Amino acid sequence: MPHPNDPSLRSFVPVDPSSDFPIQNLPYGVFSARGLAPRVGVAIGDFVLDLWELEQDGRFGFREIGVFSQPSLNSFMALGPKVWSSTRARISELLRADHPELRDNEELRQQALVPMRDVRLHLPITVAGYTDFYSSKEHATNVGVMFRGRDNALQPNWLHMPIGYNGRASTVVVSGTKVRRPRGQLKPPNVELPSFGPCKRLDFELEMGVVVGQGSAMGEMLTEAQAEAMIFGFVLLNDWSARDIQQWEYVPLGPFQAKAFATSISPWVVTRQALEPFRVSGPAQDPVPLPYLRQTRPNNYDMALEVGLRAGAMNIPRTICATNFKYMYWSSVQQLMHHASSGCAMNVGDLLGSGTISGPEKSQRGSLLEISWNGTEPVELAPGVSRTFLEDGDSLVMRGGCQGDGYRVGFGEVEGTILPAE
C-alpha cells in the first residue's frame, strides 16, 4: 500500500492544486449536516468525509467503539498513535482514485461525502487544558525592546527554557465565533488609579496550537520520542490579547484576564503525520539547553502563515503579516518535555499554544502590538483606513500551510470578528 504522504497519490474526489485539503493532508474535524448530530469527519477538497457513516458501514476495525460518532476527537485520539496511523492509511486508501471500494459504491459515497458548503464546523476537541508559550525569540525580543529597552529585551531565563503560562480551556472557541471586546481594569501609565471598562487595545497573536492526543502520568518526565509520539496534530490559533489589561495585571504572576476571554482555533486538526515531509531544523540554540530539553531531530516545520485584517467597510482582508512557523526558537516537542518536567500530568485534549510567531523581518510580526510598535506606527489597511489595535466590527483571518510538490497541506482558516463590549 502506498504511504499516505506519497506526493503522487490522487483522490477520485476532485481536488484543486491550490486546495488546502488534498489526499496527502486528511485533517480531522467535527461537523454537522443534514440535521444530524455532530460527528467526526475528514476534509478532502471541497467535501467532508463522514467517518461515522463509514464506521457504521464496517469500514474501520473499531465499529463497536463508536469513536467517530462523538462530537469531539478526544475518544479517537485516546486510541493512540498506532491507531492514528492505521486509520489515516485506511482513509487514504478509501479516497484513492485507484481504489474502487468507495469510488464505485455510489450509495455509500452519497452518504459519506458531504459538500463543505453544507456543513457546520464545530470545536474539534474537548479542550482539557490550555497552556500558552512564548517561544519566538523575535517576538519576545520585540516586546522586550518596547517595554524594557534593547539592553534588557530578553529576560535572563528566556534562552534556558520555553516560557509559558496556564491559560483557560473554557473559552477556546472555533473559527467563526464572534469575539466580544473584553472588559477589565485599565490603568494607563499617566493616570493614578485604575478604572474598569472595555479594553481599548485589543490585539491578536498568530500562533499554532499543538493538540496533545495522549496523556502522561503525574510525576513522569518525557523523552523527546515520547513527547513527539503524544502530539496528535496542529491547529491555527489566535490568542486574543487585551494589551491594556495585560500591562496593568501581569506583575508578578503573568497574564490572567487579558488572555482569558477568548482563544480561537481552526476547525481542522492537521495531523503530525501529514506534516512529516515538511520537518526542518529550528534556529541553533545557544546556550545548549539543559539535558532534559535536548532534541536530536529537526522538530520545526516549514509552514507559511499569513494574517489578514478586514475593517468593517472593506470587502477583502489586507495581509498584515506573512511569516513562517520554522522560526520558532523552542519546538513543540521541547515545550511538551518542559511542561511535564516538574511532574505535571498531560491529558488527552490538552492544547499548547506555540506563542506568537514573529520572524526576523518587519513584515513577519505576528501581533498588532509589534506591527504598530505599541500603537505608535498605525498600519494602513485601505485608503483612509488604518489601525493600531482592533476596532469593533474588524475581522481577523489567519491561514497557513505547507507547500509540497504539486499539493499543499493547509489548515483552512481561523477567523474572528470583534463585537462591541456589552
d(CA 388, CA 173): 25
Q: Of 106, 51, 109, 111, nearest to 84 (Cα)?
A: 51
Looking at residues 260 to 319 of the shown chain, list those that interact with Mn ion (rule: CB under 5 A).
Answer: none
Determine contact, residues 150/389, Cβ cutoff 8 Å: no
User: Is the preceding omega at residue 287 within 30 degrees of 0, hence cis?
Assistant: yes
Q: Are 43 and 29 in contact (CB under 8 A)?
A: yes
* Region near Mn ion per CB under 5 A, out of 209-217, 238-246, 293-301, 359-367: 238-246
SS3 (DSSP) at 376:
coil
Nearer of residues 77 and 208 to Mn ion, judged by Cβ: 208
Nearer to Mn ion, 77 or 258 (CB): 258
Name the DSSP letter for residue 98.
T
Binding residue for Mn ion, selected from 239, 244, 370, 415, defined by CB under 5 A: 239
The only residue of 53, 203, 205, 394 in contact with Mn ion, by rule CB under 5 A: 205
For residue 47, what are the β-bridge partners?
44, 115
Judge whether 88 and 137 are in contact, CB under 8 Å.
no
Q: Nearest distance from residue 297's CB to Mn ion, in Å?
A: 26
Q: Which residues contact 186 (CB under 8 A, 6 or more apart)?
A: 194, 195, 196, 197, 199, 200, 244, 245, 248
Task: Name, in order, each residue with C-beta under 8 angstroms of 131's C-beta and a sequence gap of 6 or more.
Answer: 164, 165, 166, 167, 339, 350, 351, 352, 353
Cβ 372 to Mn ion shortest distance, Å:
17
Work out the angle at residue 406's Cα, subtended by the Cα atoms of residues 174 and 297, and round it to the nearest 5 degrees. 70
Stretch that binds Mn ion, among 25-33, 85-93, 124-132, 220-228 (CB under 5 A): 124-132
**How does strand 279-280 pair with strand 241-242?**
unpaired
Point out which span in 23-31, 101-109, 202-210, 227-235 binds Mn ion (CB under 5 A): 202-210
- E strands along 77-205, which residues? 113-115, 120-122, 130-133, 164-166, 172-174, 179-180, 183-186, 195-198, 202-203
Task: Give residues 30-69 in contact with Mn ion (rule: CB under 5 A).
Answer: none
Q: Catalytic annotation on 139?
A: yes
Catalytic residue among 3, 122, 139, 160, which? 139
What is the closest distance, in whole angstroms, from the C-beta atom of residue 255 to Mn ion in the complex? 8
d(CA 348, CA 214): 5
Site string for Mn ion, 160-199 (x = CB under 5 A): ----------------------------------------
CB of 266 to Mn ion, least distance (A): 16
Closest residue to Mn ion using C-beta atoms: 239
Least separation in angstroms between CB 302 and Mn ion: 22
Give the residue with the Cβ less far from Mn ion, 53 or 239. Answer: 239
User: How many residues in total does the chain contain?
Assistant: 422
Nearest distance, CB of residue 158 and Mn ion, angstroms: 15
| Total residues at interface with Mn ion (CB under 5 A) | 3
Amino acid (1-letter code) at residue 233 = G
Stretch that binds Mn ion, among 41-49, 102-110, 128-136, 396-404 (CB under 5 A): 128-136
Site string for Mn ion, 79-118 (x = CB under 5 A): ----------------------------------------
Q: How far is the CB of 132 from Mn ion (least distance, A)?
A: 4
Binding of Mn ion by 132 (CB under 5 A): yes
The answer to whether residue 224 forms part of the interface with Mn ion (CB under 5 A) is: no
Which residues have a catalytic role annotated?
139
Per CB under 5 A, residues contacting Mn ion are 132, 205, 239
